[in-house]
Structure formats: C-alpha cells, structure tokens
Amino acid sequence: MAKTNGKKPKEPTSRDEAGRFMKGSSGNPVGRISVLGPLRDMARNYTTEALETILGIMLDVEAPQAARLKAADMVLDRAYGKVPQAITDADGGSLTMGENGLSYEDVRRILFALKLREVEQQGDVIESH
C-alpha cells in the first residue's frame, strides 16, 4: 500500500469535459510522499567521512590528477559556494535583450510576473500538465 503524508484524501478528482482539473481539485489529493527528510538526515550522519574522503583524494599525490582537481573543486565549492555563472553574449559582454537594455534576468522576471497574473485571472479552470 502506498505511503501518504498523513493527510486524508479529498473527494475524487473533478475534471471538466476537456479533461482539465476544475478549480480546487488536485490529481494528487494526499500530497507528495515525504522521504527527503529521513534520507537527508541519514546522509548528514556521514558528512565528516565524506569530507575526509574528498580531502584524502585531493591530498593523495598517487591519485589521478583529474580526481585530485575534482576533489579540490568540491572542497572549494563547499567552503565558499559555487562561482556565479554570468550570461554573456558571443563577445563576452553582458547579455541584454532589445533596445531597452533589459538583462536576461529582468526579462525572465517580467515574463514570470505576467504568467502569474494570467493564471490568477484565469478563474475557474486550471489545466493539468
């Protein structure tokens, strides 16, 4: 029997004639099964051993150079965070879109806000994907 997150299922899912979910209905009324918490906790019990393994590879002069570089990269990522990745044009310049000089991120935020407004105004029917 499938595990649930402790919520009781709602009434059967309601769909319209086109097969889309009606407002207030869900294809998964009991929600997502929560297994990440216990898995994460179990993995965190091995944090020290994992870091010691990575450091051991990094410091092992007999280990392949690619493995040592990867281990060093992993240590630096965990110590300082990953290096931000810039979005640039072919010449390495900051990527802008259109004459107004909007960045890719600005356009992404605007499009997200417009889509959110559209969904909020949609009303009665929410399409399933």
DSSP state of 27: S
pTM: 0.43
Q: What is the pLDDT of residues 15-67, one digit of tens each?
A: 787 778 777 777 777 777 777 788 888 889 999 999 999 999 999 999 999 99
Q: Which domain holds residue 94?
A: 84-120
Q: Is residue 24 part of a domain?
A: no
Q: Is residue 29 part of a domain?
A: no
Q: Is residue 92 part of a domain?
A: yes
Q: Is residue 104 part of a domain?
A: yes
Name residue, tokens 């010449």: 91
Q: Is residue 39 part of a domain?
A: no
The Cα–Cα gap between 15 and 19 comes to 5
Domain count for the chain: 1
Q: Is residue 94 part of a domain?
A: yes
Mean pLDDT of all residues in the chain? 77
Q: Is residue 88 part of a domain?
A: yes
Q: Is residue 99 part of a domain?
A: yes
Q: Are 105 and 113 in contact (CB under 8 A)?
A: no
Beta bridge partners of 103: 96
Q: Are 32 and 5 in contact (CB under 8 A)?
A: yes
